[in-house]
Chains A and B, each alone.
Chain A
Amino acid sequence: MHTINKALKVFFKPFVLIAVFLTFNVDASYSQDIAAGEKLFKINCASCHKVTDQKLVGPGLKGVAARVPQPAEEWLIKWIKNSQAVVKSGDAYANKIFNEYNKSVMPSQALTDDEIKSVLAYIANPPADTKAADKKEDAAPAASAQDSSTVLYFLLGLIILFLILISVLNGVKNSLQRLVNQKEGLPEPVPVNYNAAFLKNWARTNKKIVALGLIVIVSYGAKAAWNGMMGIGIYEGYAPEQPIYFSHKIHAGENAISCVYCHSGVEKSKISNVPSANVCMNCHKAIQEGTVTGKKEIAKIYAALDYNPEKDTYGPNPKPIKWVKVHQLPEHAYFNHAQHVTVGKQECTTCHGPVAEMDTLRQFTPLTMGWCIDCHRKTEVKMADNPYYTKLHEELKKTYGKKPITVSMMGGIECGKCHY
């Protein structure tokens, strides 16, 4: 018996380990100096260098440690601290690079040796791919919303697996026991399926628990099915790939361009409008190269307008840009941006989320009717300073007293407000 139990324990050990491993969410993030290096790189280097082999102002830094005279670290620290000194010292590689880049001087960087080492560590371990990294970053919040349920499902699956294993192993144990008994001449154990009999007996004696369990299982399944059905047509988190890799993070975030600059219809019309290409050209006539994608994506705007940036001329063959619509209102619903932004004084982020942090635009809210109505029930009408509401407010006070007037109190959840 003991041997068997021991064997079983050995057998189970890996599972226990897996379980332990799973319960601790091991974070495989960069080590500290790589993270610091990334930060430093972005502040000091990114305006001229890329961590890929793509040239910007200066050379791309992929594999730089292998290129430069060895020992690379030492050489690079010197070069970064004062490149001209290295050039003047007659270093062959330094002179070659200097001449290759039309004798443009790499400015000296006021960094400590450790800091430079961090940067080099970052360069040596760059993010796998910019796009992939963005996607990962974007997907993360959406995933986090589902995290709890995913983990739950996973654990549930594991439990079921373990239960099956236990029952199988129990069977094995019983057979072995029988064999041992036969060999040792002991009487056979009760010739029934131990598990089934046990379960049957247990179920017979604990009918209430069984019923309860069944109810729980059925309700849980129904709820899951219901949730699944209700999710049809809801595209929260939808972040399609666009024909041009346009980053709201760069435009609205880093450059802090107001949303209305491009989405000029938002204060006037029902549609906030995707900006026309001539709006892009207001800036991108001058800014011909991006920090992330270089010339590639901006060239698509030029192609759409048939613009030649070298000659500064427009050609005769413009082609419209076919953006992919991200926010799709359910059919048969009327929505007006001006009503919400100009009159209701709502922030863009209320519905669109932290757009300034998104590289790829993502649908932040579910855009369902329930979500609309929920907000209409909670949101107070901005009546102050708008003479449209003055008389109306007086009348509403007669009915509602001093209660704050929400959109729904004014008929804001009537069908005809959005469906006609």
Chain B
Amino acid sequence: MSNKKYWKSLEDLNNSPEIIKKAQNEFAQEIPLEAFLGNDALNSTKTPRRDFLKFLGFSVTAASLAACETPVRKTVPYLVKPEEVTIGISNWYASTYDDGSDYCSVLVKTREGRPIKIEGNKFSSFSAGGTNARVQASVLSLYDNERIQSPAKAGNAATWKDIDNEIGSKIEAAAAAQAPIRILTSTITSPSLNGLIADFVAKYPTAKHVTYDAVSYAAIRKANMQTFGASVIPSYDFSKANVIVSFGADFLGNWLSPIQFARQYGVTRKLNKDKKEMSKHFQFESYMSLSGANADVRVAIKPSQIGAAVVSLYNAIATKAGAATISGAKVNFDKSIAQTADALWNNKGKSLVVCGANDANIQSVVNGINAMLTNYGTTIDMANPLNLAQGNDEEFIALVNEMKEGKVSVLMMLNCNPVYSAPKALGFEAALSKVPTSIATADRKDETASKCTYICPDHHFLESWGDASPKANTYALIQPTIYPLFNTRSFGDSLLTWMKNPMKYQDYVKANWEKKMFPLQSAEPMFQNFWMKSLHDGVFELAANPISTVNWNYDLSAAASEISKETGSELEITFYQKISIGNGTNANNPWLQEMPDPISKITWDNYITMSPKEMEKRGYNIIHEKEEKMNTVNLTVNGVTIEKVPVFPQPGQAEGTIALSVGYGRTMVGKAGNNVGVNAFSLVGTNGSGLMSYHSSKVSIADNSEKYMLVTTQTHQTLMGREMVKETTLSEFRKNGKAGNHTEMLFIADGHDHKKVPAHTVNLWATEENPGFPKPGLQWSMGIDLNSCIGCGNCLVSCQAENNVSVVGKDEVRMNREMHWIRIDRYYSSSMSKEKAEAEKKGVIDMYHEMEIPEENPQVVFQPVMCMHCNHAPCETVCPVLATTHSNEGLNQMTYNRCVGTKYCANNCPYKVRRFNWFKYFENDQFDFHMNNDLGKMVLNPDVTVRSRGVMEKCSMCIQRIQEGKLTAKKQGREIKDGEIDTACAQSCPTNAITFGNIADKSSQVSKMKEEDRSYYMLEELGVQPSVFYQVKVRNVEGHSEAHHS
């Protein structure tokens, strides 16, 4: 057993009596039985028992009689069936998710012509089969019935013909009058669309394309322009880095290209008996980000200190390299900086320093550090730059000023929502009102589109043709997987129409590929074949340009002096993106709204995170309980005030700082996302270099007397204080592969004496003489590597899409009724351990006492938990109706139509993975989350039952995929190939942390994984023989066991 003390939340740590009481109950809510039965009104009703029985009997008879009639169901076949469609069999199409902030190469599963699931495309070397939660959830956004269903003029539906005529003439008029036409878009990586916009600009020379991203990375391009003369963002390769240092860049969650980076990072975190090396990750940040939670060493600093931290790291390395130092303020965590510098210097050329600050000066110094470490040419590739994040803040601000002056005559907007996402201080909304012709191409009447003259709705990406190029020499195609649901039109087609070009955008893309991409290769001599192959693969990748080193001859002293001007304050704020909602584009997606934040585990809200110590000082409530409302404050940043923002205690939050996520507080996105949280974008300001600054020192908070309920999936479903995460350190692991993975021992009777035996050898059910039922051939098993799991929650949404998991809404989550089949437990740990106590000669009482002291900067561990498919399942033995049974393939099966909802199984489950349907969540307007309309229901997987009220449900290990995979093998008359059958969670895991397969096959990946020393079963001592195993988490923390407390 691990000797660390884990706690799931502060209440857990403080051992509050509520928690202890709750730990005894499966369902935290008391069922108001007494109140109901004790109601006198019930006795005095006019319906006495006899009448009731009469009515009951009558209705039962009536129902039975009604059931005798054969229900007439119609079956409507295709009139002319498309050749590629076989009803009941899915078709897969390769496409690309590229919404200007996330890029991912995907495979789209369609059934009878409707997309129902998105998975990673392993043909892509860029995203390499990974996805994130937002990509997974995008399929639900397709079926959002609040999308605008036709073009509109001044808010009223209009025809394309009328609108095209008007817009066409306005463009002509503007061009004739030499008046500026502006095309404002988020990042476009599409070679074809960029080409088309260039054509447009060539035809109408007063037009200009301005790129604006809601969350900007402009500083990186600007810094590279300054230091290397190229306005690019290089490619990063985390997989080649032995030491990773991040200053406030959440590269696993949101920074630049998180899916790609997570995959690379995962490679460096893999350990096995042949590979005992892993990367070391330092994170300097103010709020607890996903990357920070995964870091080996996390240093909590104020956002204003990032510049100083980068400068002092530069100086520490410059000293080692014998280069000139630059001037900079001393930081109070120089010990950590020195340790970081040592680690980096020892891994010269095999390290990577990244920084999240949108400040060109700081980014320049970071470039200097990487140059000194000779990382250019290994982990940083300037020769194959990324095409992502092209947003140019300066041009955008200039455009807004131009608009304010009334100069812009036509403004087109694609894939951006600046009325919502631009800083309030910039006054975009007022500026927009001065543009005579404004055209939005948004998919809904959102904050910006509603204020535009015309709305020319664009397709959803699953309805579109297009292409993309996330980085140099890497191309991808977007192909439609469904006929457009509404009267929408792709932006490319709109532009072509307005340019009076009769071509279709689809043909334009194809022609562009014929002209530009086709000649780049020689494998396919015919274009049609090349086109079909590219469509099939979804990607077309050329050999990368040879990676090159750089010459560093940039003087950083000016940058250093700019950095030193940054002064902090008592209270500073950081704005960040949540992994679920991101920049808020998909805020009307209930899957994303209900997905718990990986760190706080809060759903359906954003909130100020503050260190518990500071909250206590301010007298705020730090016990985040189900029924406990949180304090709220009025937050003023950069002169803009938002009232009534709840405050949440977040361990790891740097003292004197708060953080608030953007993407919330939408007002015109739809029923699911409207007025959820507050809009932090409005508070964003600009920094000295004229770029958007996602932190600020001009913060004040004032107490608000109102309190607010935040709901979380965290404090319930406790594991009764039992420990199930095992961890060790890298040096221990090198010495002994089984480090941290102690076998649980159990006392059993031995004649008149007792003896200690390994817990897993004790078996209540089967004995050697009676081994139970035969288990031939297939035994499904799943391995989860806690060392490479980053807790991003992709698996959770992937599972939700695959298995028709319901969304229950904020109020139901509050009552512990969320339905997710897989949860990701997040545990904070305290640095006190038994070894440490022994070394420090601490007594047991002192040790336990210290284990309970709240850590200000705790270590974090993530553990995905789904049904363990116990081979001796406690749930099966208590079910009175045999609704949950075991298969001979090792699966714990749940038969919904047998279940009568006693919930005994959930009570008896040691892992608390069973979910009860308290309500009918579909076709029920009480749960207005797309499943109550015909359009939304199109996303449902037809191979999985939609569970109704009153039944228990849980992870089935994607039994529908297992059965499908088996059948495919049977039909083809061959054995199942390892890796052919994959669960939804495992398939798209960006770090490949989940492995699924047949453990009876000794050559399978999962079998080999199981043989590793790090493998263990959670709560093995219970003897339930789970089918899911974990691998011990290893921390690379030698000499850094104590993170610095700033």
Contact = CB atoms under 8 A, between A and B. Distances in A.
A324 B959 CA distance: 31
Contacts of A328: 70-71, 73
Interface string A382-418: 0001111011100110010000000000110011110
A420 B970 contact: no
Given A324-B74, A419-B896, A232 B967 contact: no
A386 B970 contact: yes
Contacts of A231: 68
Contact of A391 (B777, B943, B944, B971): B777
A416 B945 contact: no
Contacts of B971: 268, 338, 342-343
Given A268-B86, A324-B72, A411 B80 contact: no
A388 B963 CA distance: 14
Contacts of B675: none
A171 interface: no
Interface stretch (B389-397, B663-671, B883-891, B1011-1019): B883-891
B80 A238 contact: no
A271 interface: yes
B883 to A, nearest CB: 8
B136 interface: no
A273 B72 contact: no
A267 to B, nearest CB: 8
Contact of B77 (A235, A274, A338, A392): A274
A232 B67 contact: yes
B79 A278 contact: yes
A410 B70 contact: no
B76 interface: yes
Nearest to B956: A420
A106 to B, nearest CB: 40
Contacts of B973: 385-388
Say which size band chain A's interface belongs to.
35 or more
Interface string B871-907: 0000000000011010111010111111000000000
B866 to A, nearest CB: 15
Given A323-B75, A325-B74, A416 B893 contact: yes
Nearest to A420: B959
Contacts of A320: 76-79
B89 interface: yes
Contacts of A269: 86-89
Interface in B936-963: 943-945, 956, 959-960, 963
B776 A396 contact: yes
Contact of A304 (B64, B72, B79, B970): B79
Given A388-B973, A416-B893, A270 B88 contact: yes
B750 interface: no
Given A343-B967, A388-B973, A415-B885, A332 B897 contact: yes
A276 interface: yes
A299 interface: no
Nearest to A279: B81
Given A265-B86, A387-B973, A415-B893, A322 B73 contact: no
A294 interface: no
B620 to A, nearest CB: 47
B898 A276 contact: no
Interface centre among A274, A276, A386, A416 (most CB of B within 10 A): A416
A15 B81 CA distance: 64
A171 B971 CA distance: 77
Contacts of A235: 70
Say which size band chain B's interface belongs to.
35 or more
A35 to B, nearest CB: 35
A232 B61 CA distance: 12
Interface in B78-130: 78-81, 86-89
Contacts of B778: 392
Nearest to B971: A342
Interface string A38-60: 00000000000000000000000
Contacts of B774: 396, 399
B960 to A, nearest CB: 6
B79 A265 contact: no
Interface string A315-354: 0001011111100100110101011001100000000000
B754 interface: no
B46 interface: no
Nearest to B66: A232
Contacts of B889: 411
A277 B970 contact: no
A324 B68 CA distance: 17
Given A232-B64, A396-B776, A420-B893, A343 B970 contact: yes
A399 to B, nearest CB: 4
A273 B87 contact: yes
Given A387-B974, A396-B774, A399-B776, A276 B86 contact: no
B975 interface: yes
B970 A276 contact: no
B323 interface: no
A388 B972 CA distance: 8
Contacts of A416: 885, 887, 891, 893-895, 956, 959
B969 interface: yes
B87 A265 contact: yes
Interface string B777-789: 1100000000000
Nearest to A304: B79
A240 interface: yes
A104 to B, nearest CB: 36
Contacts of A232: 64, 67-68
A396 B81 CA distance: 43
Contacts of A278: 78-81
B81 A276 contact: yes
A392 B75 contact: no
B967 A322 contact: no
B950 to A, nearest CB: 13
Interface in B47-80: 64, 67-68, 70-80
Given A416-B893, A416-B959, A411 B887 contact: yes
B75 A325 contact: yes
A112 to B, nearest CB: 49
A192 interface: no
A269 B975 CA distance: 19
A157 interface: no
Interface in B918-949: 943-945
Interface in A38-97: none
A166 to B, nearest CB: 35
B71 to A, nearest CB: 7
A317 to B, nearest CB: 11
A415 B86 contact: no
Contacts of A298: none
A396 B78 CA distance: 44
Contacts of A229: 64
B803 to A, nearest CB: 9
B217 to A, nearest CB: 44
A233 interface: yes
A394 B943 CA distance: 32
A328 B882 CA distance: 25
Nearest to A243: B74
Contacts of A116: none
A322 B776 contact: no
Contacts of B891: 416
Contacts of A390: 975
The 4 closest A-B pairs by CB, nearest first: A416-B893, A269-B88, A276-B81, A271-B88
7 contacts: A265-B88, A276-B80, A321-B77, A336-B963, A391-B777, A399-B774, A419-B945
Given A268-B971, A276-B81, 9 more contacts: A273-B86, A323-B74, A323-B77, A325-B74, A338-B967, A338-B971, A386-B973, A420-B943, A420-B944
Interface of A: 229, 231-233, 235, 238, 240, 264-265, 268-271, 273-279, 304-305, 318, 320-325, 328, 331-332, 334, 336, 338-339, 342-343, 385-388, 390-392, 395-396, 399, 410-411, 414-417, 419-420
